[in-house]
Structure formats: structure tokens, C-alpha cells
Amino acid sequence: MSTAALKTLFPAPETTVRRPSAPSSNGTTLVDLADEGSFLVRLDRMSPSQRLRAYRDGTFNREQRARWACRYPEEVPMVNGEVEWIALASADLD
């Protein structure tokens, strides 16, 4: 396959970050890399008790909870071996 054909199939990545103003067509929003970095900086500056309190108070959104769980897995509350917010969401509470 020629180089021109490959460039057509696999264009060079863009150097700028697109910041969507609305959700994409499939209902998900694209990650804003600047916001992600600032959240991680704030997360690192918090103490373990502050991070847990922020989670319990509902300060973290779903994506932020996931980033917290990846960065500090030992701090995340577990219920029967599952992350607490997933266990609570999937519990049968009839």
C-alpha cells in the first residue's frame, strides 16, 4: 500500500484539543484534558480523609470517582469486594 493511501486511511493526529460544547451523538461527552489535569492536581492536594469526605458528600461526579479509584485504590470504600458506589447502584433494594 502506498504512503498516500496510508495517510488517507490514517491521517496525522491533530495537535489541538477539541473542546465540545455539547455531548456527542452517542450521548457521552468528550474528556476535557485541561479540566482532567486540574482535577488530578486538586485530588493530589487533598488528604485521604478529605477525598473520602468529598466522595461521601457527592462532590465527585462519576468520572472523578473513577479517577480517584484508579489513583488511590486503597482509599475507596468496598462492599463485598466491589467498589461501594457500584455495589449500591446494583443492589436489589426491594
Please report the pLDDT score of residue 16 as a whole number.
Answer: 47
Give dist(CA 39, CA 77) in Å, integer: 20
Q: Are 52 and 60 in contact (CB under 8 A)?
A: no
Question: What does the buried/exposed string (b/e) look like for 18-35 if buried means 16 or more CB atoms within 10 Å of the residue's CB?
Answer: eeeeeeeeeeeeeeeeee
* pLDDT tens-digit map of 33-52: 556 678 999 999 999 999 99
In 3D space, the residue among 81, 41, 89 whose CA is nearest the CA of residue 62 turns out to be 89
* pLDDT tens-digit map of 60-92: 999 999 999 999 999 999 998 899 999 888 877
